Amino acid sequence: MTKRRNVLIIVLLIIGVIALCVVEFGVKARLRQQQAYQVAQLNPLTNDFANIVKFKNPYMGNNANDANLNANLPLANVPHTFVIHPQTRELDIRYTETIQDIGFTNVQSSLVYNATANFALIDNLDSMRFVFPGASYHVTRALVQSWYGVAPATLANQTAWKQNVQSKLANPQYVKNAFKAFFGGGS
């Protein structure tokens, strides 16, 4: 009886160790990887274009698509609402946090990235307004097209995106120049 009990304890101990390893090195590792991926999506330099290109749509009036696209772009973690103006084909994104709270450098690179993504992936979107408490930034498709020298839709593939949009945002001077070309001084 004691021998059988000892074997049972050893078997249960082995099962417990195996279960602990599965949880620690399998489940928790996957969760940490998912969390790191979500954090990476908030940075224009590490945002996964393959994750946003699926929201390519010919019409800006597809509210769910517009919301999902912007929920997968930098600044998605900042509480915001959308206002769609179908007559003017403008999308307003209204953030509840101030630029000072988010950080101006982060806002600059994120708005350049987000505006480019919206114009590249929503074919009939003509303009966007990013509104923060105390500041508002307006950009048009024509300004974005002028900056890149090509129609924004031509940037909507992995290679063009990395080469012409994402990699250039690592240069702070490029970000400042693009921000000024897109938004001027803000309002």
User: Do 69 and 108 lie in a common domain?
Assistant: yes
pLDDT at 53: 94
Non-local (6+) Cβ contacts of 92 within 8 A are 82, 83, 84, 85, 128, 129, 130, 131
* pLDDT 10s digits, 146-183: 999 999 999 999 999 999 999 999 999 999 999 999 99
User: Do 7 and 83 lie in a common domain?
Assistant: no
Q: What is the mean pLDDT of the chain?
A: 90
Domain limits at 1? 1-40
pLDDT-derived band at 7, boundaries 50, 70, 90:
confident
pTM of the model as a whole = 0.83
User: Do 27 and 100 lie in a common domain?
Assistant: no
Are 158 and 50 in contact, with CB atoms under 8 Å apart? yes
User: Do 97 and 179 lie in a common domain?
Assistant: yes
User: Do 76 and 127 lie in a common domain?
Assistant: yes
Non-local (6+) Cβ contacts of 18 within 8 A are none
Give kind and range of the element (H or E) at residue 120. Answer: helix 104-121
User: Do 92 and 171 lie in a common domain?
Assistant: yes
Q: Is the pLDDT of residue 144 over 80?
A: yes
**Count of domains in the chain?**
2
User: Do 56 and 123 lie in a common domain?
Assistant: yes
Q: Is the pLDDT of residue 49 over 90?
A: yes
Q: Is the pLDDT of residue 185 over 70?
A: no
User: Do 89 and 140 lie in a common domain?
Assistant: yes
User: Do 174 and 140 lie in a common domain?
Assistant: yes
Determine the average pLDDT of the residues in 125-141: 97
User: Do 12 and 94 lie in a common domain?
Assistant: no
Are 172 and 105 in contact, with CB atoms under 8 Å apart? yes
Residue 131: strand pairing partners: 94, 136
Are 112 and 130 in contact, with CB atoms under 8 Å apart? no
